[in-house]
Amino acid sequence: MTATGSFFRSRWVDVPDNVSEPGGGLPKGFAAAGVACGIKPSGGLDLGLVVSSAPATTSAARFTSSGTQSAPVLLCRERCALDGIRAVVVNSGNANAATGRPGFENAVKMQGAAALASRCPEGAVAVASTGVIGVPLPVSSAITGIVQATHALRPDGEIDFARAIRTTDVLDKHACVDVVVGGGTVRLTAQAKGAGMISPNFATLLCFAQTDAALSPETCDLLLGVTVKRSFERISVDGQLSTSDTVILQASGESGVAIEPETEDEVRFGEALDAVLRQLALNMVRDGEGARRVGRVVVHGGSDDVVDRVAHTVADSPLVKTALYGGDPNWGRIIQAVGMAMPGTAPLAVDITIEGIQVCARGQYVPHDEEALKAAVQGEEVEYDINLPGEGAETERYFSDLGHGYVTLNAEYTT
């Protein structure tokens, strides 16, 4: 069965053969809702709840490494059994960050209300918040929203949930796939947010994934760790780490199909999760006002440390990003970024190829078809390949362009 659905749009995502797109609906055991409770001044959906009814639900989570983590992130890390999260409650419109002890107490209140409403222990409830930093959370609105959401929980509530966790996102960011494994078919859904401009006032990377496969907590953690490294950790919008980034995978086991460690099933399920998270990550990079193109930089070299540094220096360079926005085949900016990432190595024998056209060999320009290159960088996706001296290490990074929309959204908004 080959997936032909509209969710997988990028040539950079390999969609496994055993994955199909049924169109919607949460995996067995899950229900979700999204409601408007008045935190967003616009009156839009701003509180989402997703709950698993299965007491044996397993889970894994990843959070921002920021030194100024939001209250909900601190709460999850301190007071959640992260391998057994049953319910996730999320508000948008306020990040509950830089809010100190009162902010932490508000996150505790949200956790308590959601636990009561979902009939599970407080430690099984994760909390996430996204929105403005440094403003007290209107916690009574959030509590009211939790009660409303509890009444609105539905097995196909994931679209409302996805809408409630969004802020400035323009593109939809939810997926629903069925994965055929040896023991049967399991469902995997995910809802994410994160606009083209990852910005602490607007956007934060949040992703919540659910499956009805039965996974041990260790398998959950392993698969989430590997796939997050290959997706959300490989994207660069503006190089800014949020106070609030949160990714959670929950497995209810209600399909009755178990994914055992070190089996072909684990590989298949892992590939499906990988494809879903990579496409969601690419959607984040592509999203946002004014964003025209997505770049991918692939770096080969002799050391993991160096290829990582070069990849993120290129991906975070505002000069590379503005050239991508302008459809400008300006490879001088690529070599400048490489040089910046590798101080003290001059003269450096670097090769650079853009969309298959080599422009630089061993640090020196290569005569090439400039018209063909200009045409090649006008597409929606542009690939840059960088070969450094040495062998054995390789990485990739995806990045957005930098255009007027970014400036407008981030400069002309007034708090």
Q: Which residues are catalytic?
A: 204
Distance in Å, CB of 102 to its own copies, minimum: 8
| SS3 track for 148-212 | HHHHHCECCCHHHHHHHCCCCCCCCCEEEEEEEECCEEEEEEEEEECCCCCCCCCCCCEEEEEEC
Q: And the tokens for 136?
A: 């007290």
Region near its own copies per CB under 8 A, out of 3-11, 83-91, 118-126, 197-205: 197-205
Q: Does 341 bind its own copies (CB under 8 A)?
A: yes
Decide whether 64 or 252 has the Cβ nearer to its own copies.
64
- Hey, which residues between 378 and 407 contact its own copies (CB under 8 A)? 401-404, 406-407
Q: For residue 358, which phi and psi values (nearest 5 degrees)?
A: -75, 130
- Hey, which residues between 117 and 176 contact its own copies (CB under 8 A)? 132-136
Q: And the tokens for 337?
A: 């970024």
Q: Does 347 bind its own copies (CB under 8 A)?
A: yes
Q: And the tokens for 363?
A: 């640090």
Distance in Å, CB of 336 to its own copies, minimum: 4
Query: Which value, in Å, is the radius of gyration of the alpha carbons in the chain?
Result: 22
Q: Does 362 bind its own copies (CB under 8 A)?
A: yes
Decide whether 183 or 389 has the Cβ nearer to its own copies.
389
Distance in Å, CB of 273 to its own copies, minimum: 25
Residues 6+ apart with CB under 8 A from 137: 39, 91, 94, 96, 99, 103, 106, 129
- Hey, which residues between 70 and 89 contact its own copies (CB under 8 A)? 73-74
Decide whether 248 or 359 has the Cβ nearer to its own copies.
359
From residue 111, give the alpha-carbon distance in Å to each of 51, 79, 244.
Answer: 13, 10, 16
- The burial class, CB within 10 Å (0-12 / 13-18 / 19+), for 366 is middle
Q: Does 332 bind its own copies (CB under 8 A)?
A: yes
- Integer Cα distance of 68 and 78 in angstroms: 15
Decide whether 270 or 403 has the Cβ nearer to its own copies.
403
Q: Does 240 bind its own copies (CB under 8 A)?
A: yes
Distance in Å, CB of 367 to its own copies, minimum: 10
- Hey, which residues between 254 and 313 contact its own copies (CB under 8 A)? none
Region near its own copies per CB under 8 A, out of 9-17, 24-32, 295-303, 339-347: 339-347
Q: Which of 247, 342, 354, 382 binds its own copies (CB under 8 A)?
A: 342
Residues 6+ apart with CB under 8 A from 279: 7, 8, 9, 10, 13, 175
Q: Does 41 bind its own copies (CB under 8 A)?
A: no
